[in-house]
Amino acid sequence: MKLITAIIKPHKLDDVKDALKVAGVQGMTVTEVKGFGQQRGHTEIYRGAEYQVDLLPKTRLDMVVRPEDVGQVTGVLVEAARTGKIGDGKIWVTEVDQLIRIRTGELDADAT
């Protein structure tokens, strides 16, 4: 199995989720994260002191998929998450030794 991790813009979550559902992704796990990269942060002001904030809100998706689906899923992800502006995020894929469904003990492809 493969684990696909994607860092996307938070307001793209709904679109991405819908697109992935259509592409047959059965489940995923979503985490609120902050990202640092090329995208410029913003300035905050508190009583005359200016603070440069360079961590920006992002959303992280983790989904374990069958190896043969990786190409399609990343394709769908890229398409749905892209706005074309800096800060759209990254996707990375790692190898999973084993996937288990806790409820049933099913393994790998059966467990997605």
Residues that bind ligand ADP (CB under 6 A): 7, 26-29, 35-39, 56, 58, 62-64, 86-90, 101, 103, 112
Q: How many Cβ atoms are within 10 Å of 105's Cβ, its own excluded? A: 9
Residues 59-78 that bind a copy of itself (CB under 8 A): 60, 62, 64, 70, 74, 77-78
> Three-class SS of residue 1?
coil
Answer positive or negative: Cα dihedral of 45, 49, 55, 59: negative
Single-letter code of the amino acid located at 29: T
CB of 43 to another protein, least distance (A): 6
Q: Which of the ranges 23-31, 37-45, 62-70, 88-96 carries the binding residues for another protein, by CB under 8 A? A: 37-45
* Packing angle, helices 70-81 and 13-22, rounded to 10: 150
Q: How many CA atoms lie within 13 A of 12 on its CB side?
A: 25
For 78, residues 6+ apart whose C-beta sits below 8 A from its C-beta are 91
Q: Which residue among 28, 30, 47, 76 contacts another protein (CB under 8 A)?
A: 47
Among 22, 27, 51, 53, binds a copy of itself (CB under 8 A): 27
Q: Which residues bind a copy of itself (CB under 8 A)?
A: 1-3, 5-8, 17, 26-38, 54-55, 58, 60, 62, 64, 70, 74, 77-78, 81-103, 105, 111
